Amino acid sequence: MNGKNALTPNSCAFRRTQSLRCPKGQASVLLRKGSRNARSKSSRSKTDSGSALSRLTFQQRLALGTSWKAMRGQTNVIMRKILNDLESASPKVKQIFYKAALVDCFQKEGTENRATLDEHIKLLIKFFDDLIANVENEAEVLAMVKKVGQDHAILNQSCGFNAEIWEQLGEIAMEKICSLDIVQKTREAGRAWRTVIACVTDELRCGFDFEARVFSRKSSSAEQLAPSANEEEMLNRLHLLRMEYNSTVPL
């Protein structure tokens, strides 16, 4: 599409402001509602040079990597808490994981089911491993994050998974991670994690929204092209009538 309003993964209108610092008085405690207020939504201007990741200082990147390494012994517990809280906040997510667990029970041994809660914990850890290891490669990181959002778009049609769930995930992740002593130990670590989580939430939602619209358009086109049940029944009846006519009327 050549029009100015053409939709591409990079033209997502939903963007947060680049001011990601917590309001005064909330430095030590991040409330879930407060995290959204601290990350107000706004459109990215054309003069905005890349994402918030590109504006992480050297000290913030260093603090990000150091704090992530320090979490190594408890990353599994942290990610499980994040996903458990997401289940509580979103019944749809809980239902998806429940169905995945049921399917997993009947799968053959050795068959991988990446939709389960336990697998998502592993995937989240690997996700942050890759992100933090490549945080200086902004384009690569953003493409990776968008891809995750796009891969979940199919759930929009089948399970009612919506963009608001990414918001909830971002808020919960920010609350859980930024409240850790390891992160609160230095100001730069807290700023870095808030920046990264806000940026990740943006890109997940952007990739998801774009791909969900593509799926929606494809579904609408398929429905228009496919005959309805009534039309199909009518065609079958006409076919039968024609066969009866041919068998009774001599040629």
| Torsions phi, psi for 99 (to 5 deg) | -65, -40
Query: What pLDDT is attached to residue 188?
Result: 97
Residues 6+ apart with CB under 8 A from 164: none
The mean pLDDT value of the chain amounts to 78
37 located within any domain: no
Q: Which domain holds residue 128?
A: 54-222
- pLDDT for residue 239 is more than 90: no
Q: C-alpha distances in angstroms, 151 versus 56, 144, 156?
A: 27, 11, 11
Q: pLDDT tens digit string along 79-93?
A: 999 999 999 999 999
Closest among 149, 176, 145, 170 to 161, alpha carbons compared = 149
Q: Does the residue 203 lie in any domain?
A: yes
In a domain, 211, yes or no: yes
What is the domain-level CATH number for residue 131?
1.10.490.10
Please check the confidence at residue 225 and state whether its pLDDT lies above 50.
no
Residue 114 lies in a domain: yes
Q: How confident is the model at residue 231 (pLDDT cuts 50, 70, 90)?
A: low
Phi–psi pair at 48, nearest 5 degrees: -70, 120
Our count of domains for the chain comes to 1
The verdict on residue 29 lying in a domain is no
Is 33 within a domain?
A: no
In a domain, 200, yes or no: yes
- Asked if residue 75 belongs to a domain, the reply is yes
Whole-angstrom CA distances from 111 to 40, 98, 103 are 42, 18, 11
Predicted confidence at residue 21, as pLDDT, reads: 40
Mean predicted confidence (pLDDT) in 98-121? 81
- DSSP assignment of 96-118 equals HHHHHHHHHHHSPTT---TTSHH
Residue pair 64/197 in contact (Cβ under 8 Å)? The answer is: no
In tens, the pLDDT along 10-42 reads: 555 445 534 344 444 444 444 444 445 444 443
Record the pTM: 0.70
For the chain, percent of residues with pLDDT exceeding 70: 64
